[in-house]
Chain A
Amino acid sequence: MKIRRIYIDADAADDPVTEQVCRRIGLPVKRVNHPVEIYQQISASPDPEAAGKSVLLLTRNKGRFIRDCPGTTHYTCCGYQILHVGAYCSMDCAYCILQAYYHPPVLQFFTNHDELNEQLQSFFDQGVVGRIGTGEFTDSLIWEPLFPLAQQLVERFSRQDTGNLELKTKTAAVDDLLAISHNRKTIMAWSLNTQTVIRHQERATAGLSARIEAAEKCQASGYPLAFHFDPMILYPGCHADYEAVVHLLFARIDPANIVWISIGSFRFMPELKEVIARRFPDSTIIYGEFIKALDGKMRYFKPLRIRMYRWLIDRIREKAPDVLIYFCMEDEEIWEKALGFTPAAHGGLARMLDERAASMCGLNGRVQTR
């Protein structure tokens, strides 16, 4: 992480987490009464999205730590819950939605872990199987050099048996997690993409081999694994490239250790187009055959999505016939045409995934009908 400056929100100044982070980083610290001054400074920069990655704001999460995934209308959501530990990311993917989600985006790490722990306890106490992850508004593992949050969470989840934690990352920084007793309650997950996409669209992320090598290490430590082919990007030669990813993956990873594989294609809010064009002038990902979809986001024209999904699924099935594959934010037509069934036939996607998590991670909670 190339943080140049730390700001501490006055409310967070006395939190032990704040003190620990500052001690670890050893950078100049400035206390602010209201983050608005940081936002103004970042907004005035010629590249606010990059500027927001060089500043860390230590602040308290004033909303809920555990939230439902925002999902979107018309498309099937997996019913995942977000553990909102921080925001934004030190890596820099062209397609990253967070660039347009926050105005302006700033790296934020929440310090009120007392409240985080209380809310987690309530989540466990419900006795209901739940899938929760930290990789929605940030990458799950980028914070470890500042604070061993993932390590603490893995340990915390290992001591209960109703929920599982999914740590989703594009890093390979797993070494500190390998020796922790996880009790299979944490799923280590990687976003996968082709070498071309990683090289040109995912700045500062770990390479494909490094990600798979990290997954292999976690496999050896007994962690259940997950992989996300999301966002798939169409470009000339992409099919062969995705096939190469599948080969590489299954050459190192035993399908029996994979809890699920999700698939999704590049989609974006229209306002992200300008950000990508400005920040990634060599990227052509926004010039694909996109249409305005039912939720207002730009998506590849549906037959293109179906064709690309079918193709990838066939490749995965050749290697791992029984692995659970699901779509992230797609509708029933896509499910039916690309996978041959709809989640409704299995009690809904959330239930399908809850049951899978329960069996692969040894969860004992009730599986809810959602």
Chain B
Amino acid sequence: MQAEQRLIAIGDLVLSDRRYQITRPENTDRIANAIQGAGLINPPIVQAGQHGYILVAGFGRASACLNLQWRHIACRVLAGTTSPLDCLKIAVADNALTRQLNLAEQCRAVAKLREFCENARSLSALLEPLGLFIAPQLVEKLYRLFELPEDVQNATALNHISLNTALSLESIDRTSAEAIAGLFKSLRPTVNQQQEIFSGLHDLARLEETAIDRLLKIPEFAYILDSADLDRGLKLQRLRTAIRRRRYPTLSRAENAFHRRKRSLQMEAGMDLKPPANFEDTTFTMMMRFSSTRQLCRQAECLGRICEHPDLKAILNKEIEDS
């Protein structure tokens, strides 16, 4: 890297030019504190452009100095002949060699370098000496992630959405993808729950000819999401139930009817009745767990009684009341 250290008027930095930006510093106060304490140890890297100096690396440091109301800042100025590809490599290495880049940063690095590489494999190979190890398959996924709204990229970087769930958001509109990112950020579902919630909402939106962001605003869901009385766990649980009830209304009614009738059988402790999966088969399972003959006798007596119970007949007939 050919660079010359110079003191530059901070107003000459074109901070709005983000062509080489890999990171999105959220908290410049922390950087500002460090600079105040120890000085600017690692000056930003810039290149002279038409309207001032373009930042190549050190966006956080430059912003922190600006916030500290510095008039001038020491920078390493790259030779004007440094190619855009080399600038990008410097940008990646400057970050990746000092710390682990999060997924959103990796995503930006990959997206910016994409045009210089023939395929994912060569891009992966280009990144390796810069301190960024990304397998070609992941490179492909990151290309796709970069096309998604920034909220989704950030939620993925923060692990609020799994990468695979994030990529499934490609199939929906951007506003809905952002709504899902926000939902997962606040409810923190597990990966399986993310898939379940997303596919439930996606299918419902298709069926009801609406968009997911609008669907989330219907009273049935909004009531749960906006509730001040429910904690995160309860909201998540109720939302999943509400989505399922709306997506599978008849099956949900059948399950409710089953549980209501099962309760009315008033089975002895240790007894349980299980329906066939999805009520498709005809075989129900009665379980009896006991630890004494007395308990078994009580259960046997109960069994005799429930065999005559009209609700057992209704259970076996899989009767569902009409909605």
Contacts and interface: CB of A to CB of B under 8 A. Distances in A.
Contact of B250 (A74, A284, A293, A303): A303
A331 B283 CA distance: 13
Contact of A289 (B171, B248, B277, B280): B248
Interface string A297-337: 00101111000000000000000000000000001110000
B320 A303 contact: yes
Interface string A134-178: 000000000000000000000000000000000000000000000
Given A284-B206, A302-B279, A303-B250, 14 more contacts: A284-B207, A287-B204, A287-B207, A289-B251, A291-B248, A291-B251, A299-B280, A301-B248, A301-B250, A301-B254, A301-B278, A302-B278, A304-B250, A333-B282
Contact of B278 (A74, A277, A292, A331): A292
A99 to B, nearest CB: 19
Q: How large is the interface on B (under 10, 10 to 19, 20 to 34, 35 or more residues)?
A: 10 to 19
Contacts of A287: 203-204, 206-207
Interface string A273-292: 00001000000101101011
Given A291-B278, A292-B278, A294-B281, A301 B207 contact: no
A228 B301 CA distance: 50
Interface in B106-122: none
A332 B277 CA distance: 17
Contacts, number: 44
A292 B281 CA distance: 11
Contact of B279 (A74, A284, A292, A301): A301
Contacts of B250: 289, 301, 303-304
Nearest to A283: B206
Nearest to B318: A303
A301 B250 CA distance: 8
Interface in B222-268: 247-251, 254
Contacts of B318: 302-303
Contact of B280 (A277, A286, A302, A332): A302
Contacts of B320: 303
Contacts of A332: 282
Nearest to B205: A287
A291 B280 contact: yes
15 contacts: A74-B281, A284-B206, A284-B207, A287-B204, A287-B206, A289-B248, A289-B250, A289-B251, A291-B251, A293-B278, A299-B280, A301-B250, A302-B279, A303-B320, A332-B282
B36 to A, nearest CB: 55
Nearest to B282: A333
A294 B279 CA distance: 10
Nearest to B253: A303
Interface in B23-41: none
